[in-house]
């Protein structure tokens, strides 16, 4: 399977190295807004020699496209005609980018799109309960470093470094959470796409003492109650939980597996 990776940051690096070591894949193309990042990644690889490609060339030549760039990249990828016309596979890490492009997503009929569960647990149960959910809440707690320079923090002039204890810095809906914390709250977008529940309550807590990214989900309906808590170690990128990378790798491992676990 020929693979192209869009976005050569931490996640793109980790997934490219995994692909480079796996004989079932061949990494043929890379793209990043900063070409130096893709050039650096190419030098790290031992078995593949991918080329820097435009979005169009990469999508056209790849069987599987991996997006690990940003939510803004998702729209451009979904608009590319080669994606659907040629029955591609697409793995999206920036699930927040789908919320603003649900109409584009609905138009795609032939491309198989994979969304990793990322940094949260419980998505299988929540997918099963979709349509019967009456209440859904996500509370995310993150270290100061993970939240710095987020648009919401900057706009509201929140001085995170002065915090002496954990503090709710955001409480609101899904759309505002994604706009205010685009690099932190992909879990909320994934939760919506699994649940199809429009009224998710999102809270974000800044904690000056924690080193973990913590996500707590409470879901209620006539089926009962689902509670899931995930405490993740951050990756080298403090805004990203390492479990998100492992989740994507697991999708790659299972692409050709004839045993599927979960719904």
Task: Report the sign of the C-alpha dihedral through residues 31, 33, 34, 37, in that order.
Answer: negative
Structural domains for the chain: 2-114 (3.40.50.720), 123-239 (3.30.360.10)
Separation of alpha carbons 249 and 93, rounded Å = 11
Angle at which helices 10-20 and 35-44 pack, to 10 degrees? 30
139: which strand partners?
A: 203, 216
State residue 101's pLDDT score.
Answer: 94
b/e map of 142-162 (b: 16 or more CB within 10 Å)?
Answer: bbbebbeebebbeeeebebee
State residue 14's pLDDT score.
Answer: 96
pLDDT at 250 over 90: yes
Helix (H, G, I), strand (E, B) or coil at 232: strand
- Sequence-ordered list of residues with C-beta below 8 angstroms from that of 61, at least 6 positions apart, any chain: 2, 4, 28, 29, 53
pLDDT at 1 over 80: yes
pLDDT at 157 over 80: yes
- Whether 93 and 248 have beta carbons less than 8 Å apart is answered as yes
Task: Identify which of 200, 191, 185 has the alpha carbon closest to the alpha carbon of residue 150.
Answer: 185
133: which strand partners?
A: 221
Q: What is the mean pLDDT of residues 142-148?
A: 94
pLDDT tens sequence across 187-200: 999 999 999 999 99
Catalytic residues, by residue number, are 215
* pLDDT bucket at 260, cuts 50 / 70 / 90: confident
- Whether 169 and 180 have beta carbons less than 8 Å apart is answered as no
* pLDDT bucket at 263, cuts 50 / 70 / 90: low
Q: What is the CA radius of gyration of the chain?
A: 18
Instruction: Measure Cα distances from 127 to 115, 133, 180, 219, 226 in Å.
Output: 13, 10, 26, 11, 11
* pLDDT bucket at 237, cuts 50 / 70 / 90: confident
Helix (H) or strand (E) holding 99: helix 96-99
Q: What is the mean pLDDT of residues 83-104?
A: 93
Separation of alpha carbons 148 and 157, rounded Å = 11
State residue 85's pLDDT score.
Answer: 87
pTM: 0.92
pLDDT tens sequence across 15-56: 999 999 999 999 999 999 999 999 999 999 999 999 999 999
pLDDT at 144 over 90: yes
């Amino acid at each position: 399977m020929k693979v192209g990776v869009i976005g050569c940051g931490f996640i793109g690096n980790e997934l490219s190295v995994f692909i480079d070591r796996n004989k079932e894949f061949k990494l043929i193309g890379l793209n990043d807004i900063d070409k130096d990042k893709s050039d650096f990644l190419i030098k790290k690889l031992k078995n593949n020699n991918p080329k820097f490609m435009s979005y169009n060339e990469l999508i056209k030549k790849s069987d599987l496209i991996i997006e690990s760039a940003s939510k803004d990249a998702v729209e451009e990828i979904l608009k590319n005609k080669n994606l659907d016309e040629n029955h591609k596979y697409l793995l999206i890490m920036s699930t927040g980018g789908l919320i603003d492009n649900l109409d584009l997503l609905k138009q795609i009929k032939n491309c198989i799109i994979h969304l990793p569960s990322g940094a949260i647990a419980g998505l299988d149960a929540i997918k099963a309960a979709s349509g019967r959910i009456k209440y859904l809440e996500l509370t995310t707690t993150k270290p100061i470093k993970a939240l710095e320079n987020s648009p919401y923090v900057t706009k509201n002039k929140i001085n995170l470094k002065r915090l002496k204890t954990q503090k709710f810095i955001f409480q609101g809906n899904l759309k505002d959470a994604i706009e205010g914390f685009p690099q932190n709250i992909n879990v909320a977008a994934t939760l919506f796409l699994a649940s199809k529940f429009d009224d998710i309550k999102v809270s974000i807590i800044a904690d000056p003492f924690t080193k973990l990214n913590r996500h707590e989900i409470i879901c209620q309906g006539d089926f009962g109650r689902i509670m899931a808590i995930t405490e993740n170690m951050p990756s080298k990128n403090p805004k990203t939980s390492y479990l998100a990378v492992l989740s994507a790798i697991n999708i790659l491992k299972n692409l050709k597996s004839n045993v599927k676990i979960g719904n």
